[in-house]
Amino acid sequence: MTVTTSLEIITSDLLEGVQHGFFTRRGGASSGIFRGLNCGTGSSDQSSIVDTNRGRVAEAMGVPPGRLVTVHQTHSARAVTVADAQPLPRPEADAIVTASPGTAIAILTADCQPVLFADRTAGVIAAAHAGWRGAFDGVLEATLDTMEEMGADRTNVRAVIGPSISQRAYEVGPEFFEAFFDEDRDNAIFFTNGEGDRFLFDLPAYGLHRLRQAGVAEAEWTRHCTYSDPDRFFSYRRSVHQGEADYGRLISAIRL
């Protein structure tokens, strides 16, 4: 795993040979609660500044801004394919798959899992936004299914989960635990006891489990917690705990 400077970009050896990056908040033009590289068009940050930030990401990925492709994320299990430039309006989906060289696909997060996928042999890549709801409903499996429709083989796919909220910061209620337990009793391993009737949920471990059960060649988490490192990462949950009106969005991107 390496980190490059200027913009701060976290990469993984699993995706070696494919340009990719989990961008931190460092190096952006936003200020105030959005300080840094806020790439969320759905935030209340100034749109011109968000465009500047996204332009910096496009430059770092070696593509024009119009070929940095994102979607309108809805915590769904829907994956879409893209051929080249950013489709407008952005489709509603939570995963993007492409086999087009020179197109960077990206997703936004602020505690949820950003997951980047690559089958280097087939030349197919993907990016997915997998919060608890999306992961529970099958967005990771839908991404792999769509990759295979484009010629990938999941036994050749490497997948990396980027900065996400860690278990020690992810407190949930008993109804949350019950939903996972009712779906599969073995899901209890992703929870530990918190205070009172609360639980602590291990989202990255659950994501890795779903990826490995789906048959990927290799999968890892970069082991960065968004909640506990405010200098580097935006966090929805931290913003709520601090009573802030809004929060920035991190971007994670991959291209052939």
Cis before 89 (ω within 30) = yes
User: What angle do the packed helices 203-213 and 139-149 form, to 10 degrees?
Assistant: 40
* pLDDT tens digit sequence for 71-99: 999 999 999 999 988 888 999 999 999 99
- Which H helix or E strand runs over 162? none
What proportion of the chain, given as a percentage, has pLDDT over 70? 98
Task: Report the percent of the chain where pLDDT is more than 90.
Answer: 95
- pTM for this prediction: 0.95
Show the tokens assigned to 157: 């796919």
Rounded to whole angstroms, the Cα distance separating 35 from 215 reads 39
Domains and CATH numbers, the chain: 2-166+202-255 (3.60.140.10)
Across the chain, mean pLDDT equals 96
pLDDT at 2 over 50: no
What confidence score (pLDDT) does residue 39 get? 97
The arithmetic mean of pLDDT across residues 28-56, rounded, is 96
How far apart, in whole angstroms, are the C-alpha atoms of residue 89 and residue 114? 22
Beta bridge partners of 69: 105
pLDDT surpasses 60 at 5: no
